[in-house]
Amino acid sequence: TKIGIDAGGTLIKTAYIENERIQYRSFPSQAIDDAIKWLHDYFEKPAICVTGGRSQVLAKKLNVPAKTVVEFDATTEGITYLAGPQTLGRQFLFVNVGTGTSIHHVTDGRQERIGGSGIGGGTLLGLAYLTTGMQDYEEIVRAASDGNREHVDLKVKDIFEGLLPPISGDLTASNFGKAEWMREHKPSDSDMLAAIIGLIGEVIVTISTQAAAQYDTGAIVYIGSSFRSNPLLQDILVAYTRLVGKEPVFLPNGEYSGAIGALLAI
Ligand code: ADP
């Protein structure tokens, strides 16, 4: 069996062919030994290709030889495979929101990393823990969906009380900017979590759309496990990306792009 593996900072993503279809499975990066056991037990004669920041660590623990490929190139291959030929055009941008965020420009199938940010999925886990004590990802994103950002974030219209603002009053003037209000009305855990996702989404969409404008690309493909069970984050990126006239693209199983790229390299 052919298996592609993307060993990331938070999650190990695998893609393999079974019943003539690509199947997916992921493991927490701390559970690397469970992943190794599964690979050794579940597959007979596996042909493995690994990518990602932890690829060396993983390859060393395997009892079979593994090929390694460059992560950014593997991810580009995976995205092109998932999107299908030609759908993304000659050039596009992809933004990988993993533990951190990485922005890439692709022309004729070749990628160049053009920027990034330490604001990413890891920021959600870290700030969620500090503000609410929660540690479980699914619990965090579920709680956030009940939150009200208006109890935490300052909007433009809050500043321009009664006056017609020069920009949309619904834009965020200051993330977490309602300090005065919050001293009197402590926001709930859900409110804080929604505001954290808002902060992350708005930072990412700002740098991504500026890069898209600079490179004159139409489509921005957003991938990474940070979008899992997290419609709040997706909605922010969709709304703001469209606002500046670019087309947001979310690929089903997009978080497995690196693993698929590794699979295709075997
Ligand atoms: P990396 O390749 O750096 O590991 P990923 O694309 O796998 O990055 O994204 C990791 C992020 O995905 C986490 O920081 C978290 O926000 C989110 N995430 C989604 N599902 C989980 C999960 N089951 N456990 C932990 N984090 C998760």
Q: Is the CB of 51 within 6 Å of ligand 1?
A: no
Query: Is the Cα torsion angle 256, 22, 25, 190 positive or negative in sign?
Result: positive
What's at 75, amino acid-wise? Answer: T
Distances (CA, A) of 136 to 33, 132, 133, 186, 192: 20, 11, 10, 23, 16
Which of 121, 136, 131 minimizes the C-alpha distance to 232? 121
If one compares 127 and 167, the residue with the highest pLDDT of the two is 127
Over residues 100-115, the mean pLDDT reads 97
Quick check: 162 pLDDT over 90? no
What's the burial of 51, exposed, middle or buried (CB within 10 Å: 0-12/13-18/19+)? buried
CA 20 to ligand 1 center in whole angstroms: 27
Q: 2-119+201-264 belongs to which homologous superfamily?
A: ATPase, nucleotide binding domain (3.30.420.40)
Q: Give me the chain's average pLDDT, please.
A: 97
Alpha-helical runs (H) found in the chain: 32-42, 55-61, 71-83, 121-132, 137-144, 156-159, 179-184, 189-215, 231-243, 257-264
| Confidence bin at 74 (pLDDT 50/70/90) | very high
Predicted-assembly ipTM surpassing the 0.85 threshold: yes
Q: Is 71 in the pocket of ligand 1 (CB under 6 A)?
A: no
Q: Is the CB of 123 under 6 A from ligand 1?
A: no
Q: How far apart are CA 107 and CA 205, in angstroms?
A: 21
Mean pLDDT score, 208-234:
98
- Mean pLDDT calculated for residue range 236-256: 97
